[in-house]
Amino acid sequence: MFLHFLRQILYFKQMPPSLSTFSVKKRKTQFTAFGFFIHRIVKLNKIGLMLGLMSCFGLCIIANFQKCILYYIHVVGACLTFGVGAIYMLVQTILSYLMQPEIHSKDIFWIRLTVLLWCGSSIASMFVSSVVLYSGLYGTDLVQKLHWHPQEKGYTAHIISTASEWSLAFSFLSFFLTYIRDFQKISLRAVVSLHGQTLYNTPQSSVTDEQRLLIAGSI
C-alpha cells in the first residue's frame, strides 16, 4: 500500500501542476534557509562591530596611559586592544568563511585565516615571554627599565616580548589591509545644504511654518 502511494506521488510529481507545486515548495525552503543564513551573518557582523569598538577603546587607553607610569591600566588597555581585537579578527574570519564564494573569494578567507594564526602565535609568544620576564627571576622594577644591555639577565625574554608585540601589531595592520577590496565596493557621498548666507538668516521654510502656527493659533 505504501509503495503504491509512493509511486502515485512520483507519478503526479511529473505532471505540470504537481511539478509546479513541488518547485514552489522547494523554492520556499531555499528562501527560508537563505533568510536564516543572512540573519546569522548580520548578527555576527554586529558582534564584530562591538568587539571592534572595544578594541579601539583599548587603543585609546594605551595611548593615554604609558607603561612606565600606570602599568596596570596600560595592561588593561593592551588586553582590550589585542585580546578583544583577536576575537574581532576571529569573527571576521568566520564571516569570510560563511560568505564565500558568493560575496568573498576563497583567497580572502585563507589570507585572513593565515593572519589570524599569525596573530594568535604572536599573542602566545608575547604572553609567555612577559610572564617569564616579570616573574621575579630577573629582578624587580623591570617595568620602569627603559634601556637594556645584552649582558643583563632577562635580556632575551625582553627581546622576545618586544618582537612579539611588534609582530602582533603588524598582524593587525595586515588584517586591516584585507578590507581594501571590501571598501572598493562602497561609495560614500556627503550632501551639503546651505540654508542661509549668514548665521543670522532664518530659513524661509522655518519662517513660513512659524507664521502658519501663529495664524492657526489666532483663529
pLDDT tens for the chain, residues 1 to 219: 544 544 544 444 454 444 444 444 544 454 454 565 677 888 888 898 999 999 999 888 888 887 777 778 888 888 899 899 999 999 999 988 888 777 777 888 899 999 999 999 999 998 888 887 777 665 566 555 666 666 677 677 778 888 888 999 999 999 999 888 878 877 878 787 777 666 666 555 554 555 554 444 444
Domain contains 82? yes
- Which SS3 state, helix, strand or coil, does residue 72 take? helix
Domain contains 218? no
Domain contains 116? yes
Domain contains 209? no
Domain contains 130? yes
Domain contains 3? no
What pLDDT, on the 0 to 100 scale, is given for residue 6?
Answer: 43
For residue 207, count other CB atoms closer than 10 A to its CB.
11
Q: What is the tally of structural domains in the chain?
A: 1
Q: Which domain holds residue 158?
A: 33-185
CA distance 219 to 209: 16
What pLDDT, on the 0 to 100 scale, is given for residue 209?
Answer: 52
Question: pTM of the predicted model, to two decimals?
Answer: 0.67
What pLDDT, on the 0 to 100 scale, is given for residue 112?
Answer: 92
Contacts of 86 (CB under 8 A, 6+ apart): 116, 119, 120, 123
**Identity at 80, one-letter amino acid code:** L
What pLDDT, on the 0 to 100 scale, is given for residue 119?
Answer: 93
Domain contains 11? no
What pLDDT, on the 0 to 100 scale, is given for residue 157?
Answer: 76
Domain contains 103? yes
